Amino acid sequence: AYAKACGSYQATVGGESGEALSILTGMPCELIRFVGEDFHPEQLWRKLCGSRDSGFLMTCSTTTCSVKASWLQAFHVYSLLGVYEESVPGKGRVRLVKIQNPNRLTKWQGAWSESSSQWTPQLRQKLCREGGGDSRVFFMEFGDFLKQFAHCTICRLQANGWEERKQVSLAGGGQYRSGVSLRVSAKTDCSVSLVQPDERLARAPGSAPLIAAGFVVLQQDGNSVVEVA
């Protein structure tokens, strides 16, 4: 489906998983790189746990610089299926990530791999029963995950969430003034995004040129309206 949207398989070479997820789902995606002054492992762990609880789609990717073990593929996208924090006798609290390699070629063979002696029978039964026997799935300790992978992507897609989409045509550079009104009765999360075809889709046959576009978020209180974002 992604190749069809881009016009060819050649047009899908390279790039990030967030590009495909955004195009296929229409939902916003967040790329988190595991380097830089703004990166904090503890914040990432909390975000991954929250994304797991919300049912968001998650992926993780390698580069040539990030891969330090021959069991992982460079420049490859893996599915990030889950995150767990468990008590292990003699080790205390251990943070684990559950990963799937879509093409089955390689699988992590380090700590907490399928043959690792660190597993207890109880923990293996608890965490490995879902998707048990799938040769593409493996576990890693969170610290190893940060060393071996370069970044992860979170797609805010929820199977049971509400969404509304509105297609807008701005032919000739005209202006479109419209909006969606939401009445919120309880505290909740809400994502608002404005999506245009990315560079790959823009090269596909029949694609419209990209334009400068944006939106504002307004809060109405009685007869007054205040811009909040």
- Domain of 115, CATH number, reads 3.90.70.10
Q: Which domain holds residue 139?
A: 2-155
Please report the pLDDT score of residue 146 as a whole number.
Answer: 95
Residue 71 belongs to a domain: yes
Residue 113 belongs to a domain: yes
Cβ proximity of 155 and 56 under 8 Å: yes
Max intra-chain CA distance, the chain? 68
Q: How many domains does the chain have?
A: 1
Residue 130 belongs to a domain: yes
Please report the pLDDT score of residue 19 as a whole number.
Answer: 75
* Residue numbers annotated as active site: 76, 101
Residue 140 belongs to a domain: yes
Cβ proximity of 150 and 32 under 8 Å: no
Tens place of pLDDT for every residue, the chain, 229 residues?
A: 666 666 666 666 666 777 778 777 778 889 999 999 999 999 999 999 999 998 899 999 998 877 777 688 888 899 999 999 999 888 899 999 999 988 766 778 889 988 888 999 889 888 886 544 567 889 999 999 999 999 999 998 866 666 666 666 555 555 656 667 778 788 777 777 776 666 665 555 666 666 677 778 888 777 776 777 6
Cβ proximity of 78 and 56 under 8 Å: no
Residue 186 belongs to a domain: no
Residue 102 belongs to a domain: yes
Give the whole-angstrom CA distance, residue 20 versus residue 4: 11
Residue 213 belongs to a domain: no
